[in-house]
Structure 1
Amino acid sequence: NIERSLELDHPTIIWNVDDNHAVAHWAELDARAQPGEQTILHLRTAAALEHDTRYIVVVRGLSDTMGNEIQPSQALRALLDGEITDAEDVESRRSAYNEYIAVAEDHMGVNKNEIQALWSFHTASLESVLGPILSMRDDALSRIGDGLGCTVNPDGVEDNYNGDGMTYRRVRGTFTAPQYLLEERAPTLLSRDDSHNPVFVENREVPFTLIIPMSVYNSSEPSPLTVFGHGFLGTGEGHVSGGLRAWGEIYETALLASDFYGWSSDDRDGISMGIMNGYYFTHQSDRLQQAMVNHVVMIRTFKGICSDLPEMMGDGGRLLVNTSDVYYTGYSLGGNRGPSLLGLSPDVNRGALWVGGAAFSHQIERCTQYDQFDDLMESVIGYPSQLDRAVVISLIQSLWDATDTNTWTTLSEGWGDRVQPFEMIYIGSIGDLQISNISTSRALRNADASILSSSSIHPYGLPITEGGEGTTGNVGVYFDGGFSHAPEQNLLGQEPHPAHNWVAGVDAAHRMAFEYLFNGYVVDRCDGSCVYDAA
């Protein structure tokens, strides 16, 4: 009951000190706790916390499995009781804790004798999180102008690709992009100056795949261009060349894709190294940032110097793709990457995000895709203690924040002259075992989104909209195929499970997605209820 957490008699309180209000959250015991170890109590905020803001956390009223009231630590008891100790690390905190206690008593109405745990923290500023990647983006765009060029592979043009009559042409090649990574392959770090801003290393070739559907060829007008974001540990080529080509055929749009380095097929070894040594997640985070800049450069390049490639023309030199109209859609990981691309790119401002969510640290323990790394992470060369694993996952979030949905969904209204406004539709699937519904709902709350009235669930904190031309801005909708639900606890569900991929084939879902992309508003195509009997 998230709303209950805002009441000041709730056992756990997260308090925004700067604005004096409670923060919506829920608490859950770690279902992954190991025998012989303490059990972590997770506090999960319903939405992202404010940046550069001070918070105080109070815990009270908790009992152990025997019904005994949990006691504060000896150090906290001394601070609460005003008992002077000979412990320097306790006494150095006394002044600060006196302030925490005063805030708890005066603003939250907490009796200090009931406090079992008490601490404070200060969140990072947006400048510290996004300054470096915005600097890299600005430098890259200044270097390329309208683009540095594209090269089609010698065997990169395939007419009637796959022979199914759905694709007029597949084009594979590379575009030239400024690179800030020291090396081309993982593991590698960004070159940085003394201010931690990335420094240009060299230009490199980055792969792209362009799908021109048969419907685009048959159309009398050039089609818009939709950038497609691939799934976890995949590639742009692999995903845009698969079954989702059907979207391009149905909605008469060309599809363009590249790789999201950091979470692409080339990153398995780098991720494994990070699991064994958390330092290497810095390398992975840096590759993620380079990947986002690559996509920004790709879009600018195809709007500019590569907007009239011969391979994008039909009979008689007729241009098939109008790259002045660019949209974004992404599935799974591609849904996660969508907000950062929309925020970073000045050339695309609307996206349809499929089964994506916010905050990797909120997703990992509930995501069956990460099961392939569990054995390594739990081994003696990884982090055999669940206490350590939980802490590592939480800490690594700070490395991912520069590209994470949790950061960028809060900026959909823009950020000064550095991030332009953008808008999104989120399409979720009930029972999803790869991107949890709680993660999708978090992204929607971050973005101050509305939820379609026909959505199969109406998550906490989202105003309801009926759909139609007035339903603009950020919108969410959940589809329910009648599949078994994901575990409520921070555990993996049982695969195979269809919910994650099923929704891509639902006519109402992709109609709403592409109508939103092209028109800017959501029409309810569920006839009042997005509940299906697909199971």
Structure 2
Amino acid sequence: MRRTRLAYALVLATLGGAGCGSNPVIEIPPPSASATEYTLGGTVKGLEGKDLVLEVALPDELYSTLTIAADGEFTFKPALADGDSYDVTVAVEPGDPAQSCTVTRGKGVVAGADVKDVAVDCTTLPPNPRWIGGTVSGLAGTGLVLQNNGKDDLSVAMDGAFQFTTPETDGDTYDVTVSAQPTNPAQTCVVEAGKGTVEGADVTGILVKCTNDPPVFNVDPNTIDVTNADRCDFLDAAHCLFPWPNDHFTVADPTTSTGRRVALHPMSMPVNAEVDLSPAVGAPAGTVVSPGGIGMDPTDWNRADGFSPGQMLLSYVPGLDLGKTGIGPITHMERSLEADSPLVVVDAETLERHLVWGELDSYATSDATRALIIRAGMNFREGHRYVVALRNLKDSDGQGIEASDAFQVYRDAIPSNVPAIEARRDAMEKVFDVLAGAGVERKELYLAWEFTVASAKSLAGRMLHIRDDAFEKLGNAAPTFTITQVLQNPDANRSRRILGTFTVPNYLNQANGIAGSSFHYAEPNDGLPDQFDGNGTLQANFICNIPRAALPDGNDPTAAVVPGRAALYGHGQQGAASQVNGGSATGELSNAYNFVFCATDFIGMSSSDNENILRLVTQFGRMNTLADRLQQGLLNNLFLARLMIHPQGFIADPAFRGGPQNQPLIDTSDVFYYGISQGGILGGALVAISQDIRRGVLGVTGMNYSLLLDRATGFDQLRVFFDQAYTNELDRRIVFSSMQMLWDRGETNGYAWHVGNDPLPKTPPHAVLMQNAFADHQVTQWSADIEARTIGAGIHVPVLNPGRSIDTTPYFGIEPLGSYPHFGSAVFVWDTGPFDAMLNKGTPPPPVENKPLRDGVDPHGAPRVQPGARLQISEFLRSTGKVIDPCGETPCLVP
């Protein structure tokens, strides 16, 4: 906004030339004969442009203008009388080059002498100047002065738009503050959305709100306990680490991709209690005991440059009633995007609302320990900063819940002399600025905080490092392998079963990477795993099944050979490679469509890890032993995939050849992936990092174990020991949420943004087909929906029959598949139908709370045996694969 006024002299000229006939006569009364006249003037400096016009406001609402062409002294006409007031301003800024001129000592009253000290200073504007301004409201007093970045004083006399006279340029920061408060009457003015970075446009949204009421502070900052402010957050006194996740638990680190690094203090982490594990292993009581008093060592958490993209957000709100407040549950998560939503999560960069839902912990045994859980309906963006806001919260009587004293100090700008409080005030103001930009009013807030999501480098960096290091050392060769057993015609679907081992570089810190190992870091420790002992290896097992479609009879050397498609198989929860020998998932499928399935134990979460996982749930400081071994397991699978397609790999051995021409039994032109349950959860990560596998089918899949375990019947047995180890119910939530930060490194949640067309470095794009079961008891459908949104998979419609879903907007945010065939990622939901107790068939919808569905018949195994689903797998797992519609224009129903 540039100030312009029509000078009084121009008004006279205009009136003098208007109308018909003779010009009207406008008389200006001459000054009194006895009055002494005084001149008004000053000096211009720095003028380089043209057509600078000054104006002066005179008594009786008259104005005079003066055009100035060069530096030097200037004098207004007419002269002024003693006692006359004046106000000199810039009417037109100079141009060619564009300049901004400021007036000092331009306002006053003539006091018996000429005025000669008005100063006009001009500066040349930068290219593409960006003007900083906004709106003032409620101003009744005088003397309000605003500043930008501690300078550029701007006096504001009335409500309306304002703009500083000195512009900024793109990339500059601005910080608008009140330098002087209004008086007569005394007022208090506060600035909202006053800080930020200039980005390609003028800043016009700053709000300055003034009130006649003096601030009333109901909180004494000196009463707030900040004893452990260096390692705890005093905004939520319920738990040291609440609200969580939180940039209060990070530090600045310019070496990371986000500029932050997690910095959890050991004394802030949950501490376990002693647990007798003997019942779990069938031993006499007291035989196997997990020691207590052990805190979670945050070393591996502190390697991250932010929190999980699927992080469980936590706080405690005493007396909160979700329904009375209007917080959207999992069945109405789109509520979080509505303008008046009490729960808001905002991307600090884009100011966009993020899809989330809220729920109260159903596992808590009392309201006093019942945490508020906030979950993302689609993963948070890697490397982005988010602001969480809770506002207008209500209890079961519909009464408002007051914010904590600590938060009120920041929200209400209550001054303090407490260093720990003041050290955080600037960060909290930035939080309020983000929320103001997103339309969330400061006065409505119950609590607000910020957190940073880990970068792709932080999430996948270790895995990509061991992948690239191992394959660089492998070069053009095939991994070394040994065949230990060959079984001819093991069942009706297979003609040959081949068992053996293969060699993989070992990046774990124990020989052969045994269960309980974690990554080996050599000195100096750069945060990236190193090969054990410099050149250590491990022996991974494999089982490969040749279908009769490829070789009709393992004992017949004359049988014709049709090489089968190469595919890895991912086994289920804490299973083993031997699950590839099953009939329904792989046997019938492989024979019907000629797949050669090979599998290896998915170490980290295989049967060989059972004891370590049992100990882990009572000592969660061991979480890195699961996460690190999972990543080694991913590498093992990558080496197995290479063995299946390399000319000197499996097909170089007679066990993988047959027929009169001694042909290869494997088609080495491509390799695919098919995993079920845990194999689907881990398989998304495997596909995302693979340079050989470009297409994968994820059966009854999902992601994010911090979400899955709460809603899975499969965690029942381990939860008993977990609850004994962590008796503080708020600690349990912290454990469940924080474990995901490490689990991300080995499961799909940490790689979901790169499963499709945004591949990781040195990695091709991929596509996956998700085949899920509605109301799955073991892998909750909600986690599959989150995965589909994140990877950008389209969904088959209609998804379900009318009335089957309990969502307000079923499958909100997942784009319907428009036509078939579809080329890209897709999700299909198979429904066994409503529960019929008489027939013991079907299942009801899942509960809204964070607990498993236990009613009805678990549909977890249903999709894999459907003929249409099997045909769909076959059509998708081809080099030119596509998604077909096996269900027609109806939902996919299990008969």
Same fold (TM over 0.5): yes
Structure 1: 5+ residue stretches without partners = none
Q: Which residue of 1 aligns with 2:758?
A: 414
Q: How far apart in 2 are the matches of 1:137 and 1:406? A: 19
Q: Say which of 795, 813, 822 aligns to 1:461.
A: 813
Q: Which residue of 1 aligns with 2:640?
A: 298
CA deviation profile, 1:50-74 (whole Å, cap 9, x unmatched): 1111111110122123333211111
8 Å contact kept, 2:688–2:760: no
8 Å contact kept, 1:335–1:353: yes
1:277 Cα shift? 1.4
Counterparts in 2 of 1:240 and 1:414: CA distance versus 1, 3 Å: farther
1:108 Cα shift? 2.3
Structure-to-structure mapping, 1:231-250, within 5 angstroms: 231-244=572-585, 245-250=587-592
Q: Which residue of 1 aligns with 2:472?
A: 142
Q: Say which of 823, 827, 834 aligns to 1:476.
A: 827
Please tell me whether residue 375 in structure 1 is matched to residue 720 in structure 2: yes
Q: How far apart in 1 are the matches of 2:580 and 2:846? A: 25
1:416 Cα shift? 5.7
CA deviation profile, 1:242-301 (whole Å, cap 9, x unmatched): 432111011111101011111111112111222111111111111001000111111112
SS at structure 2 position matched to 1:323: strand
- Count residues with an aligned counterpart: 526
Counterparts in 2 of 1:533 and 1:208: CA distance versus 1, 3 Å: closer
Q: How far apart in 1 are the matches of 2:392 and 2:866? A: 47
1:466 Cα shift? 4.3
Q: Which residue of 1 aligns with 2:163?
A: none
Q: Which amino acid aligns with 2:639?
A: V
Please tell me whether residue 500 in structure 1 is matched to residue 860 in structure 2: yes
Structure-to-structure mapping, 1:221-240, within 5 angstroms: 221-240=562-581
CA deviation profile, 1:381-404 (whole Å, cap 9, x unmatched): x11232111111110111011222
Structure-to-structure mapping, 1:257-276, within 5 angstroms: 257-276=599-618
Q: Which residue of 2 aligns with 1:517?
A: 877
1:529 Cα shift? 1.9
| Superposition TM-score, scaled by structure 1 size | 0.94
8 Å contact kept, 2:479–2:639: no
Q: Which residue of 1 aligns with 2:793?
A: 449
Q: Say which of 625, 633, 647 aligns to 1:283.
A: 625
Structure holding more helix per residue: 1
Q: How far apart in 1 are the matches of 2:758 and 2:680? A: 19
1:205 Cα shift? 1.2
Counterparts in 2 of 1:36 and 1:57: CA distance versus 1, 3 Å: closer
Please tell me whether residue 403 in structure 1 is matched to residue 746 in structure 2: yes
Q: How far apart in 1 are the matches of 2:798 and 2:340? A: 35
Q: How far apart in 1 are the matches of 2:340 and 2:730? A: 29
Structure holding more strand per residue: 2
Please tell me whether residue 157 in structure 1 is matched to residue 486 in structure 2: yes
Q: Which residue of 1 aligns with 2:839?
A: none
Q: How far apart in 2 are the matches of 1:277 and 1:366? A: 22
Q: Which residue of 2 aligns with 1:42?
A: 373
Q: How far apart in 2 are the matches of 1:264 and 1:126? A: 26
8 Å contact kept, 1:211–1:241: no
1:447 Cα shift? 0.8
8 Å contact kept, 2:644–2:671: no
Q: How far apart in 1 are the matches of 2:698 and 2:799? A: 15
Q: How far apart in 2 are the matches of 1:496 and 1:46? A: 26
Q: Which amino acid aligns with 1:336?
A: I
8 Å contact kept, 1:466–1:524: no
Structure-to-structure mapping, 1:356-375, within 5 angstroms: 356-375=701-720
8 Å contact kept, 2:360–2:371: yes
8 Å contact kept, 2:570–2:674: yes
Q: How far apart in 1 are the matches of 2:758 and 2:654? A: 36
- Larger RCO (alpha carbons 8 Å, 6+ apart): 1
8 Å contact kept, 1:452–1:467: no
Structure 2: 5+ residue stretches without partners = 1-331, 553-559, 834-841
Q: Which amino acid aligns with 1:208?
A: F
Q: Which residue of 1 aligns with 2:893?
A: 532
SS at structure 2 position matched to 1:529: coil
Please tell me whether residue 68 in structure 1 is matched to residue 405 in structure 2: no
Q: Mean Cα displacement is larger for which, 278-287 or 382-391?
A: 382-391
Q: Which residue of 2 aligns with 1:206?
A: 540
Q: Which residue of 1 aligns with 2:519?
A: 190
Identity across matched positions, percent: 27
1:503 Cα shift? 1.5
8 Å contact kept, 1:454–1:527: no
Q: How far apart in 1 are the matches of 2:603 and 2:487? A: 25
Q: Which amino acid aligns with 2:357?
A: W
Q: Mean Cα displacement is larger for which, 87-96 or 187-196?
A: 87-96
Q: How far apart in 2 are the matches of 1:509 and 1:418? A: 32
Q: Which amino acid aligns with 2:817?
A: T
